[in-house]
Amino acid sequence: MQKIYVAQTDETWGTGAQYGPFDTSGEAERAAKQLGWGYVTVLSWDDEVFVGARTYPVAPSIEQLRAVIAGVPPLSAAESKFFAFYEDQLNAPSDPKTAGR
């Protein structure tokens, strides 16, 4: 099976702009990021017969992930209390007579 990778602007193969082909997914993902595009399409052949195309979104950079995580507010007192109670329930030994009810 032979595969080539193409950076592209849209989720659907054949629409929008495309750049490539590349021999590896890493090369196509780097090109897509440099161009500000969000997708890579994998084109597959088996014995010179086209098998199909699969498109996937390019993973965000670590800086983008950190920005999302940094934007999450801390738990409120009520949320902290709820999760502490929930964890206590999970960690409490179960009564074999009532287990599975």
Structural domain span for residue 44: 2-59
Amino acid at 57: P
Q: What's the whole-model pTM score?
A: 0.58
Residue 98 forms part of a structural domain: no
Residue 44 forms part of a structural domain: yes
Residue 75 forms part of a structural domain: no
Which residues have a Cβ under 8 Å from the Cβ of 3 and sit 6 or more positions away?
42, 43, 44, 45
Residue 21 forms part of a structural domain: yes
Residue 71 forms part of a structural domain: no
Return the structure tokens found at 35: 């161009």
Per-residue pLDDT reduced to its tens digit, 32-91: 989 999 899 999 998 889 889 989 889 877 777 777 777 777 788 998 899 899 888 888
